Amino acid sequence: MTTTPLDNEQVLQLKQDFPLLTETQVAGHPLVYLDTGATSQVPLAVADAERDFTLRHRAAVHRGAHTLAVEATDFFEDARATVSRFVGADPYSLVWTSNATEGLNLLSYAMSNATAGSNGSEHAERFRLGPGDEIVTTQAEHHANLIPWQELAARTGATLRVVPVDERGLITPQAVAATLSERTKLVAFTHVSNVTGAITDVPGVVAEAQKVGALTVLDACQSVPHMPIDFPALGVDFAVFSAHKMLGPTGIGALYGRRELLNALPTFLTGGSMITKVTTEHAQYLDSPVRFEAGTQRISQAVAWAEAVRYLEKIGMDRIEAWEAELGGRLARGITEIDGVRLLGPAPGVERVGLASIDVAGVHAHDVGQLLDVAGIAVRVGHHCAQPLHRELGLTASTRASTYLYNTTDDVDRFLDELSRVRGYFRAEGA
Amino acid sequence: MTTTPLDNEQVLQLKQDFPLLTETQVAGHPLVYLDTGATSQVPLAVADAERDFTLRHRAAVHRGAHTLAVEATDFFEDARATVSRFVGADPYSLVWTSNATEGLNLLSYAMSNATAGSNGSEHAERFRLGPGDEIVTTQAEHHANLIPWQELAARTGATLRVVPVDERGLITPQAVAATLSERTKLVAFTHVSNVTGAITDVPGVVAEAQKVGALTVLDACQSVPHMPIDFPALGVDFAVFSAHKMLGPTGIGALYGRRELLNALPTFLTGGSMITKVTTEHAQYLDSPVRFEAGTQRISQAVAWAEAVRYLEKIGMDRIEAWEAELGGRLARGITEIDGVRLLGPAPGVERVGLASIDVAGVHAHDVGQLLDVAGIAVRVGHHCAQPLHRELGLTASTRASTYLYNTTDDVDRFLDELSRVRGYFRAEGA
Amino acid sequence: MSAELDQLYQTIILEHSHKRSGETEQDVSSAGERSGVSHQYNPTCGDEITVRVAVTAGENPTVEAVEWNGEGCSISMAAASVLSEMAPGMTLPELEAMIEHFREMLRSRGQVAPDEEILGDAAAFAGVSKFVARVKCAMLSWVAVEDAVNQAASKARTT
Amino acid sequence: MSAELDQLYQTIILEHSHKRSGETEQDVSSAGERSGVSHQYNPTCGDEITVRVAVTAGENPTVEAVEWNGEGCSISMAAASVLSEMAPGMTLPELEAMIEHFREMLRSRGQVAPDEEILGDAAAFAGVSKFVARVKCAMLSWVAVEDAVNQAASKARTT
Ligand SMILES: Cc1ncc(COP(=O)(O)O)c(C=O)c1O
Ligand SMILES: Cc1ncc(COP(=O)(O)O)c(C=O)c1O
Ligand code: FES
Ligand code: FES
């Protein structure tokens, strides 16, 4: 069974579900939204599901015994079942967080707590770190998958090692292997780079990490929204992703973890709803996932996220992936055809998602973005929270275009068309 | 100028803004919602504001340079200005969190980080803890204001001291003073008890803490929704509260802190948007409030919360406070008139908010709640995340009724009426 | 009061919640030669129960006695009381079958009707299955007995 | 391209972004006797600039020279260049008044019209004030000069 990608006609149909995409005018032009890499837009069905829950079903969950509370708890746990199924996991291995960033911080602090012996560390031996132990991350990471590990190293005395990217900006299993040692406790890496759109060989990296017995943490922020994902099949121990990049609301993300690891991991945030018995001296904690969910949760956000997942599933993640591969290829090819514009990361023809960053010779990224903006084209400019990778590429900032299921080839072409005028407008040398 | 409280007629008018309150039937009865202490209901205007922002203005904030992103940033920062003004503070002293619980954990972990010297601890001297240092909290606290301090003590070697409540269940400045010492670094206490509805003398406690140079942390979860609050005037150093208890969305809360303290406090969650310069070795952090806001924020939630604040301000917090004092008094008096039912906390006549918990002789709280539930009355049963206080009161669980601006005296009377039948139904001794 | 409520709080349940067969003032937390002890905690409400079950000696033991201390709602107290009356004399497979059916019925949200032949008086708990938040209440002591009897049986078999 | 864009990128700005008065290859990060140095960083984009300003000796110093190294967008480079041309010869109160007006104009979201007598060529930045995200770009070097000149002046006065 081969996948039929979406086509322009279907996408134009889909766009009708997104008022912002059809109704917004910027400086007199209809908006072309190419900034999904930062945050996606939201379809009516998702916003309506959240509003309806809030106005008709809201109550505290896992606490109240009254009818409304019991119903709200059902909504909330059904949402967990839906989102966890979407990534191939069972509900016990999916913890709600505020965003992907918080999921990574949860791991970083839980490991500090294992080291300090606090927060329910009875079975936390394998999460303890000390001088001589090593944490591995890569040069391609978003700051969210770098700084929490730097600070974990600072708190525990462990050493942080950084895997260099290859000349295409890719993380390779070989480079990871070369950075690992017997003392490596954890390897944190990204599935898809939010700067280059390059896709990491996850099973390859996991295999290397397993050879030295290191835990693996996958930053799946840019993969889960754009391709079918099965975390257990990928073999990673932990993974994080965010709702707002996949048609869902802001304010919610998730940490996936193998259930036995989550149950052994010390807690992070503490407070109500995640405890069994509390005295003034001591607290005992429940098992995953509520173990990590202190205080009143993101209830309506979970409900809305589940609706977003249903929307994506109805279309089919394989079809979305195939369509975005087309858009990504068109972007990459189009960019390399423009004089004085450099495509970062993999060359056209190499696998990438619908995302491409560029450097325009003689024109600063913010000036590029400004010109595109007044033409109604919304892209991201800056370091995209990846300063080390930009430094490696010899840049401070770049311009990024990123697509989703609601973008047409025409959107890509309008971007390329405006891009071709940038150097002329700014009278860049040789333009 | 004296305050005119709301009256039943006005409240019945207000109820029309809350579809859940006017349309929900439970077991054939119109719902009487007396569980705002757990979470409040949400007016149409707030749900619509969030939906509208999400469908028409959503974008990443503080990152993008395109028009949509600039506008979304304005929405987001205007929301901060609105919510901070509501508690008498400037926007630089208001940090968004997931809920109040996370705000308290932020402080707890930032102090661990000060102790470890990580996360930007250059000016964090006064937040460092070690063996011999003391953290003070009280017997009346919600688990959210107890467990984070237990674990902070475990991580740093400091000692946790717990202020006993008096016979009415109240935290008094005298009892706090008796627990303080020269080594007390921090005093964390609740403004309004979520079990008894008792109101703490905040300036009295702050004055005692200041005598020994201790920082003060106020749990304002049950006060900010129900009375006019000015944190700088109360004199506390830090305070936390949640949107979902004050007509706002789930998934967002806030930490208030004096600005110079927040700027000196080490960071908590790390990642994108809260840094200046990042190398593979080291990160430098921005000032408050973004210093503590790692990753994509709760954007639509902030916008919705601000709308909730405007709704409350339009009615007037002083009028809400006065109305709820009436409801609370009616509750307390009514309860004490029922045989075999014990009112927890302050006696009728003593100041309380619109919240009262009870113990019914010979009938378990969950059975009380069940009977009320089938009569359409939603109350909270259990330990309300305050096991130590229940233990002090000789109980495992209690039944709590709590009001808000949308409750009438009739709601209270329906509760009291059903309550008077409970012991008979369960054939409790002497009934 | 409502019919719905009376379905939950059947007369038999209210009676057992007051008379409480098997409840003892004595501490039951230490197990003897042919007995097992189990402590169960309900994190939702903070209630707990400790159950001691003794079985007869030999290869195919039967339940001899069920004793318990604990605190909880009427559903949980009645469930402990009913089981304390029913279990003694049962073989272990009989007891296990009964507990399994009880569990299945309770989790069914009203879909699985009680088999009165298997459940006897415990069929009165059928109404609980529609009150999802109370299922744990009814199961608390039954889980404790299940756990304790298994401990007791494995001791009985090895002695 | 659009008229709106041309308002932002006035010809004078684009020209200065290329020719860049005051820019030097030499390192300007160490200050001399009557000069001050300021380093400014724009966290939104990661751009930075280092400016050295020298003033004349005496009680009422005037600006002698502005030199800088840095990287940034056309707006930030042009703003540094324009100021480097305008500042020399100004008294400190004159410079301060100009910077103050520049700041006020930029922050006004198009509400405050530039006073060309005060701002001269820098009036060309009026269009920036409607692009909130770019205000920091225009201010970066001006804040650096403000900081550096104050350092220089306090040295000049005390020597
Ligand atoms: C007094 C008090 N403190 C803290 C909390 C915790 O608030 P949240 O669950 O919103 O974090 C609550 C509410 O549950 C409360 O009533
Ligand atoms: C690769 C990658 N990792 C992490 C993040 C952080 O996600 P969030 O801001 O939702 O926490 C992002 C998005 O900004 C990302 O693209
Ligand atoms: S409410 Fe605790 S066991 Fe039923
Ligand atoms: S974009 Fe960096 S200074 Fe203008």
Torsion of CA A241, A245, A250, A251, to 10 degrees: 10
Cβ burial A276-303 (10 Å sphere, 16+ → b, else e): eebebeebebbebbbbbbbbbbbbbbbb
- Asked whether residue A405 falls in the same domain as residue A334, the answer is yes
**D143 interface with A at CB cutoff 8 Å:** no
CATH numbers and ranges of domains, chain C: 3-158 (3.90.1010.10)
The residue out of B268, B293, B312 marking a domain boundary is: B312
- Asked whether residue A279 falls in the same domain as residue A396, the answer is no
**For residue A3, is it within any domain?**
no
**Residue A241: which H helix or E strand, with range?**
strand A238-242
Q: Which sign does the torsion angle of CA B16, B20, B26, B31 carry?
A: negative
Q: What is the mean pLDDT of residues A91-111?
A: 98
Does A275 sit within 8 Å of C43, measured CB to CB? Answer: yes
- Asked whether residue A135 falls in the same domain as residue A281, the answer is yes
Collapsed DSSP state (helix, strand, coil) of residue A275: strand
Nearest atom within ligand 2 for CA of residue B295:
9
Mutate to test the interface with C, among A68, A76, A78, A277 (most CBs of C within 10 A): A277
- Asked whether residue A302 falls in the same domain as residue A420, the answer is no
Q: What is the mean pLDDT of residues A307-332?
A: 97
Per-position DSSP letters for A140-157, written without gaps between them: T--GGGTHHHHHHHHHH-
Does B286 sit within 8 Å of D43, measured CB to CB? Answer: yes
**For residue B431, is it within any domain?**
no
Whether A221 shows a pLDDT value over 80: the answer reads: yes
Is residue B354 a contact partner of residue B328, using CB atoms and an 8 Å limit? yes
Does D41 sit within 8 Å of B276, measured CB to CB? Answer: yes
Q: Which residues in chain A are contacts of C133 at CB distance < 8 A?
A: 65, 69-70
- Asked whether residue A305 falls in the same domain as residue A327, the answer is no
Whether C137 shows a pLDDT value over 60: the answer reads: yes
Enclosing domain of residue A403: 8-42+316-425
Q: What is the separation of C-alpha B254 from the centre of its chain, rounded to a whole number of angstroms?
A: 10
Strands (E), chain D: 35-42, 47-55, 63-71
Q: Which residues in chain B are contacts of D129 at CB distance < 8 A?
A: none
Whether A52 shows a pLDDT value over 60: the answer reads: yes
Distance CA B98, CA A332 (A): 39
Residues making up chain D, counted from first to last: 159
Distance CA D121, CA D11 (A): 11
Q: Is D141 in the pocket of ligand 4 (CB under 6 A)?
A: no
**For residue B379, is it within any domain?**
yes
Task: Provide the terminal-to-terminal Cα distance of chain A, rounded to the nearest Å.
Answer: 48
Whether A135 shows a pLDDT value over 70: the answer reads: yes
- Asked whether residue B321 falls in the same domain as residue B208, the answer is no
- Asked whether residue A301 falls in the same domain as residue A321, the answer is no
Mutate to test the interface with A, among B194, B252, B269 (most CBs of A within 10 A): B269
Percentage of chain A beyond pLDDT 70 is: 99
> Has this prediction a pTM greater than 0.90?
yes
Q: How many domains does chain B have?
A: 2
* Cis, peptide link before residue A289, omega less than 30° from 0: yes
Collapsed DSSP state (helix, strand, coil) of residue B50: helix
Min Cα separation D60/chain A (Å): 39
**B286 interface with D at CB cutoff 8 Å:** yes
Q: Is D143 in the pocket of ligand 4 (CB under 6 A)?
A: no
> pLDDT digits over B174-214, tens only?
999 999 999 999 999 999 999 999 999 999 999 999 999 99
pLDDT at position B295, please?
A: 97
* Check: complex ipTM more than 0.90: yes
Whether D2 shows a pLDDT value over 80: the answer reads: no
Whether D153 shows a pLDDT value over 90: the answer reads: no
Sheet (strand A341-343) strand order: A341-343, A355-360, A398-402, A380-382
Residue among A191, A317, A143 nearest A247 (CA) = A317
Distance CA D155, CA C2 (A): 88
Whether D158 shows a pLDDT value over 80: the answer reads: no
What residue type is B161 in one-letter code? R
**For residue A2, is it within any domain?**
no
* Best of C39, C68, C73 for a ligand 3 pocket test (most atoms within 8 Å of beta carbon): C73
CATH of residue B193: 3.40.640.10
Residue with the two structure tokens 């020279």: D65
pLDDT at position A193, please?
A: 97
**C134 interface with A at CB cutoff 8 Å:** yes
Task: Provide the terminal-to-terminal Cα distance of chain D, rounded to the nearest Å.
Answer: 54
Question: Between C150 and B430, whose confidence is greater?
Answer: C150
The residue out of A291, A312, A333 marking a domain boundary is: A312
- Whether A385 is a known active-site residue: answer yes
Q: What is the mean pLDDT of residues D14-28?
A: 94
Q: What is the separation of C-alpha B325 from the centre of its chain, rounded to a whole number of angstroms?
A: 18
**For residue A218, is it within any domain?**
yes
Percentage of chain D beyond pLDDT 90 is: 79
- Asked whether residue A327 falls in the same domain as residue A294, the answer is no
- The angle at the Cα of B373, spanning B371 to B378, to the nearest 5 degrees, equals 130
pLDDT at position B284, please?
A: 94
Q: Which tokens in the block code for residue A302? A: 């979970």
Min Cα separation D105/chain B (Å): 19
Collapsed DSSP state (helix, strand, coil) of residue A345: coil
- Asked whether residue B325 falls in the same domain as residue B302, the answer is no
Q: What is the mean pLDDT of residues A263-268?
A: 98
> pLDDT digits over B24-46, tens only?
999 899 999 999 999 999 999 99
Arithmetic mean of pLDDT over chain B = 96
Q: Which tokens in the block code for residue A172? A: 């390779």
**A420 interface with D at CB cutoff 8 Å:** no
Does D43 sit within 8 Å of B275, measured CB to CB? Answer: yes
Largest CA distance in chain B: 73
pLDDT at position C4, please?
A: 82
Which residues does C4 contact at the CB level (< 8 Å), separation at least 6? B27, B374
- Asked whether residue A332 falls in the same domain as residue A346, the answer is yes
What residue type is A345 in one-letter code? G
- Asked whether residue A95 falls in the same domain as residue A212, the answer is yes
CA distances from B355 to A334, B169, B321, B351, B387 (A): 65, 14, 12, 11, 18
**For residue A430, is it within any domain?**
no
The residue out of B312, B335, B354 marking a domain boundary is: B312
Residue D159's pLDDT band, with cuts at 50, 70 and 90, is: low
**For residue B2, is it within any domain?**
no
> pLDDT digits over A198-208, tens only?
999 999 999 99
CATH of residue A362: 3.90.1150.10
Which residues does B151 contact at the CB level (< 8 Å), separation at least 6? A113, A118, A119, A270, A283, B108
- Asked whether residue A144 falls in the same domain as residue A192, the answer is yes
Collapsed DSSP state (helix, strand, coil) of residue B95: strand
**For residue B1, is it within any domain?**
no
pLDDT at position D1, please?
A: 55
